[in-house]
Amino acid sequence: MNTPTPTERFLRAIIGRAYPRVVGQNRELSWLVIDCLLPLLGVAAYVYIYKAMNAAPYFISYVVLGGAMTAFWLNILWSMASQWFWEKETANLQIYIMAPVSPMAILCGMGIGGLLSTTIRAAAVVIVGSLLFGVTYQVSSIWLVIAVFLLTLISLYGMGMLLASLFLMYGREAWHMSNLLQEPVYLFSGFYFPVKSLGAWVAGAASLIPLTLGLDAMRQLMFSSDPTLGFLSPWVECLILLALCPFFLWLAKLSLARMEKAARIEGSLTLRWQ
């Protein structure tokens, strides 16, 4: 039998970890209903807030797109960042660490598997939200929209891989950390309003979260809205996202190595309830 090369093993591990995420989603289709319905409720509430204030129609478009992107942030928090904590609780983590594959490959697989199902959910929110609330699109550059979207997701899932190792160190605080990071990120990344209104300093700091720049760029490129509401030009935002991708992947690799070393020294990987 041929021994797989390290690259083959890496790719196999990615597929192996992505597989249960994709298949699991198909086996439990009711999750799709819940995952599409819950963000839609929030989207509808925020749309009615704008409607009650007689806001310009593009604010409703902003809410629909922001509401769809919440699916990705929730996936990062609950299915990436907290995942290794759950795996530890169910005694899977030590098996992952013992397996002759890189933890990066497992996290990549987790990210890719989650990404596929989350994209379906986000698309459903955009389609249903657009139909319900009459959102109109005026895309200025489809290729730039696609590039921004993909770069946002790559850097975001890189950030998710980094958070996964950090949250593991937090132990049972991981659940609370995920809870804590939900609304504040909705606020600072401008999920429901233009991030520019937070002021240059706060919006600049919030740009470390890839969704901030991704959302801002996509809104500028997809809707006919007030051009003064954009934070930076979409091209600049695209370039920053391009830089954030390797930055988060490198940080994740560093953090994983550190987590693994610490766990081996302290022997804490198999300890539940910590």
Partner 1 sequence: MAVVLSAAPPGALPLWQRAWRQFRTASILGWKIESNWADPFIFAIYTLIRPLAGAFILVFMYLVVVEGSTSNPYFAHMFVGNAFFMYVARVMMGISYAIIDDREHYEMLKYIYISPLQILLFLFGRGMANIITTSISVVITLLIGIWPLGIQLTWGQVNWGLLLPSFLVGLLALIFMGFLLAGTCLLLARHAWAISEGVAGVLYLVCGAVFPLDVLPFWIQAISYLFPLTYWLELMRRVMLGSSFSGSLAGFSDWGLFFLLAGVTALWGVASILLFRRFDGLARRRGLIDQTSGY
Among 187, 208, 251, 262, binds partner 1 (CB under 8 A): 187
Minimum CB distance to partner 1 smaller for 10 or for 31: 31
**How many residues line the site for partner 1 (CB under 8 A)?**
40
Which residue reads 């766990």 in tokens?
263
Burial category of 269 from C-beta neighbours within 10 Å (exposed 0-12, middle 13-18, buried 19 and up): buried
Is the alpha carbon torsion for 147, 150, 156, 159 positive or negative? negative
The CB density around residue 2, as the number of other CB atoms within 10 Å, is 5
Q: Binding to partner 1 by residue 231, rule CB under 8 A?
A: no
Among 44, 169, 242, 262, binds partner 1 (CB under 8 A): 44
Minimum CB distance to partner 1 smaller for 12 or for 196: 196
Q: Binding to partner 1 by residue 167, rule CB under 8 A?
A: no
DSSP 190-232: TSSS-GGGG-HHHHHHHTTSHHHHHHHHHHHHHS---GGG-SS
Which residue reads 């919440």 in tokens?
70
Please report, as a single letter, which amino acid is at residue 156.
Answer: L
Q: Do 225 and 216 contact (CB within 8 A), yes or no?
A: no
Stretch of residues binding partner 1 (CB under 8 A), selected from 17-25, 31-39, 210-218, 236-244: 31-39
Minimum CB distance to partner 1 smaller for 171 or for 242: 171
Minimum CB distance to partner 1 smaller for 8 or for 226: 226
How far apart CA 19 and CA 105 sit, in angstroms, is 13
Q: Binding to partner 1 by residue 183, rule CB under 8 A?
A: yes
Shortest distance, position 53 Cβ to partner 1, whole Å: 5
Minimum CB distance to partner 1 smaller for 9 or for 57: 57
Q: Do 194 and 222 contact (CB within 8 A), yes or no?
A: no
Q: Do 170 and 204 contact (CB within 8 A), yes or no?
A: no
Q: Binding to partner 1 by residue 186, rule CB under 8 A?
A: yes
Stretch of residues binding partner 1 (CB under 8 A), selected from 106-114, 151-159, 182-190, 215-223: 182-190
Is residue 9 within a helix (H) or strand (E), and if so which, with residue range?
A: helix 6-27
Shortest distance, position 51 Cβ to partner 1, whole Å: 5
Shortest distance, position 241 Cβ to partner 1, whole Å: 23
Which residues sit at the interface with partner 1, rule CB under 8 A? Answer: 28, 30-31, 34, 37-38, 41-42, 44-46, 48-56, 59, 90, 172-173, 176, 179-180, 182-184, 186-187, 190-194, 197-198, 229
